[in-house]
Structure 1
Amino acid sequence: MSKDNPNWERETITELAWEGLREKRRARRWSIFFKLLMFLYLIAVLFAFSDWPKTDALPGKSHTALIKVKGIIADGADASAEQINALLRKAFSSHNTKGVVLEINSPGGAPVQAASIYQEIRRLRKKHKDIPLYAVVSDLCASGGYYVAAAADKIYAAKASIVGSIGVRMDSFGVTRLADKLGIESRTITAGENKALLDPFRPENPEQRAHLQNMLDQVHQLFISDVKAGRGDRLKTDAPGLFSGLIWTGEEAKRLGLIDDFGDTDFVAREVIGEKTVVEYEGKKDLLEQLTSDFGGVAGEMMKKFSAALFDKTPLPR
Structure 2
Amino acid sequence: MSVVNRFIKRPPVVSVIRLQGMISSGPRGPLSDEAIGPAIEKAFRKGKPAAVALVINSPGGSPVQSSLIAARIRRLAEEKSVPVYAFVEDAAASGGYWLACAADEIYADRTSVVGSIGVIAASFGAHVLLARQGVERRVHTAGKSKSMMDPFRPEKEEDVERLKGLLDDIHAAFIDHVKGRRGDRLKSDADLFTGEVWLAGKGQALGLIDGIDHVTPFMKAKFGEKVRFRRYGPKRGFFSRFGAMVFGDALAAIEERAAYARLGL
Match of 1:233 in 2: 184
Q: Report the TM-score, using the length of structure 2 for normalisation.
A: 0.80
Cα 1:287–1:62 change in 2 (3 A) is farther
- Work out which of the two has the higher radius of gyration on C-alpha atoms and give 1 or 2: 1
Instruction: Compute the displacement of 1:61 (Å).
Output: 6.0
Distance in 2, matches of 1:89 and 1:214, equals 35
Match of 1:100 in 2: 52
Match of 1:111 in 2: 63
- More helix, by proportion: 1
Cα 1:126–1:213 change in 2 (3 A) is same
SS of equivalent to 1:97:
coil
Residue 259 (structure 1) aligned with residue 259 (structure 2): no
Distance in 1, matches of 2:237 and 2:128, equals 46
**1:200-249 Cα distance to aligned partner (Å, 9 max, x none):** 2222111111111111111110010011111111011x202111111110
Distance in 2, matches of 1:144 and 1:259, equals 15
Match of 2:88 in 1: 137
Cα 1:288–1:203 change in 2 (3 A) is closer
Distance in 2, matches of 1:213 and 1:266, equals 43
Match of 1:271 in 2: 221
Distance in 2, matches of 1:244 and 1:256, equals 13
**1:176-217 Cα distance to aligned partner (Å, 9 max, x none):** 333333433222333332222111222211111111111111
- AA matched with 2:22: I
**Contact 2:12–2:227 (CA under 8 A) maintained in structure 1:** no
Paired residue total: 231
Match of 1:128 in 2: 80
- AA matched with 1:285: R
Residue 176 (structure 1) aligned with residue 130 (structure 2): no
Match of 1:86 in 2: 38
**Contact 1:65–1:278 (CA under 8 A) maintained in structure 2:** yes
In structure 2, stretches of 5+ residues that fail to align are 1-9, 244-265
Q: Percent identity?
A: 40
Instruction: Compute the displacement of 1:288 (Å).
Output: 5.1
Instruction: Compute the displacement of 1:291 (Å).
Output: 8.5
- AA matched with 1:66: V
Cα 1:96–1:169 change in 2 (3 A) is same
**Contact 1:104–1:141 (CA under 8 A) maintained in structure 2:** yes
**1:63-85 Cα distance to aligned partner (Å, 9 max, x none):** 21110000011222242112333
Cα 1:267–1:289 change in 2 (3 A) is farther
In structure 1, stretches of 5+ residues that fail to align are 1-59, 293-318
Match of 2:20 in 1: 70
1:153-302 alignment to 2 at 5 Å? 153-236=104-187, 238-274=188-224, 276-287=227-238
Instruction: Compute the displacement of 1:265 (Å).
Output: 1.6
1:2-21 alignment to 2 at 5 Å? none
Instruction: Compute the displacement of 1:158 (Å).
Output: 0.8
Runs of 4+ in 1 over 4 A off after TM superposition: 288-292
Q: Report the TM-score, using the length of structure 1 for normalisation.
A: 0.67
More moved, 239-248 vs 272-281: 272-281
- AA matched with 2:189: A
**1:121-178 Cα distance to aligned partner (Å, 9 max, x none):** 222222222x211000000111111001112110000111011111111112223333
Cα 1:188–1:101 change in 2 (3 A) is same
Cα 1:123–1:135 change in 2 (3 A) is same
SS of equivalent to 2:52:
strand
Q: Aligned-residue CA RMSD in angstroms?
A: 2.1
Cα 1:91–1:201 change in 2 (3 A) is closer
Distance in 2, matches of 1:284 and 1:163, equals 27
